Structure 1
Amino acid sequence: MDVQPMEDDATFVRPFIITGGRAEPLQADLRLETLVVAVGVPDETLTFERRHIVAVCAEPTTLAEVASRVGVPLGVAKVLVSDLVVAGRLDCRQPAELPLQMLERIRDHVRAL
């Protein structure tokens, strides 16, 4: 059986590399609708994905939207966001109730993953 490599295979990075081999976030309470906002500006001390997450979170953004915008699976986004919250780079809030428009956006972004 001849297997053809994917065209972008050279740029693909395995998720466990990005998370340092971890599959579980340091914070277990992160949900799809958790709002995440940057505490400061991204700097060169952060890895590419973490720097991108801080930049995306300049405005409050849901965890699902962070995963979509950064282009990583939701589980990877949870680990990275959790790391950034623990490091004091991000702040997260659990919204009491989400408006229907926000739920529809989350659904659409999750489907896009």
Structure 2
Amino acid sequence: MSAPRERAAARWYDAEAGPLVRPYAMTGGRTRPGEVGVPLDLIALVAAVGTGPGEDSLLGPEHRALLSLCAAGVQSVAELAADADLPVGVVRVLVGDLLQAGRVQVSRPVPPARLPDERILREVIDGLRAL
């Protein structure tokens, strides 16, 4: 490497930063998840599915990190990205991999239109208090 190039590299990488892995290396160059049948947007809920420990050896470190975060409870894609300190696009691709491998389940939150009306809930509370 030439001297100016070495100086430029020294500015961007230091001992405290640790190893740098580009997002395209984590996803194998993919920018979108495979065909998973469920939209993997920010509010998609991801839950780990228990399987044998031998299968973890086939997963990358980022996949295993996402699985450990999901083991604590259901997480949204946005929460996984924040907790894993990874870009959302990378998390979407990795969750797609885990979904295709049968390691996670992805569901959608209840749409606001299907939630009960606040007025009805207040009437139920008032009725219970009257008992």
**TM-score, normalisation: structure 2:** 0.66
How far apart, CA to CA, are the structure 2 residues paired with 1:82 and 1:96? 21
In structure 1, the gaps of 5 or more residues are: 99-113
* 1:22 and 2:30 matched: yes
* 2:94 alignment counterpart: 80
Identity of aligned residues (%): 38
Q: Which piece of structure 1 moves more, 33-42 or 66-75?
A: 33-42
Q: After superposition, what is the alpha-carbon deviation per residue over 1:55-85, rounded to whole angstroms, capped at 9, x for unaligned?
A: 1111100000111111110000000001100
* 1:5 and 2:12 matched: yes
**TM-score, normalisation: structure 1:** 0.76
Aligned residues: 98
Q: Which piece of structure 1 moves more, 44-53 or 75-84?
A: 44-53
Residue 43 of structure 2, aligned match among 33, 36, 54? 33
* 1:92 alignment counterpart: 106
Bigger helix share: 2
* 1:109 alignment counterpart: none
* Coordinate RMSD, CA, aligned: 2.1
Report the residue type matching 2:83 in the other structure. R
* Greater gyration radius: 2
